[in-house]
Amino acid sequence: MAEHYSSFDRTGTRWLLQRLTAAFLVVVLAFHFFLLHFVNHAADVTFMGTSARMSTWTYFSLMVLFLLTATFHGVNGVYNAVSGQDGIEGWKKTALAAVLTVASLVVVVQGLRTALVWTNLF
């Protein structure tokens, strides 16, 4: 029988967070598809409708949490996939972490800016 291989350290916090964020993302994506594809059809989604949804604290908070969770989940997955490759050690691994950290910050800042534009909360 083949030996199980994973680039994740199963005793680490990142491994657990990857699984928890995956479970959260499945639930939030199901909510998103239900709300924006079955309750409101894609052709009916407008800027004003999005602004109205984002103006409620519950929806706004859920979308910000979705942004943070999806960013972490994606970047953590890419980091583990790439750093698990043979030969990625030392400065290459550090550079990978730095590039992914900067990319994460850019995504989160732009996502928050966009979310705030759609609200009347602030």
> Is residue 66's pLDDT more than 70?
yes
- Domains assigned to the chain: 13-117 (1.20.1300)
Encoding tokens for residue 100? 């992914």
- Tell me the average pLDDT across 37-65: 87
Encoding tokens for residue 113? 């800016």
Q: Give exposure, 13-52, as e/b (b: 16+ Cβ within 10 Å).
A: eebeebeebeeebeebeeeeeeebeeeeeeeeeeeeebee
pLDDT for the residue 122: 63
Encoding tokens for residue 114? 């966009």
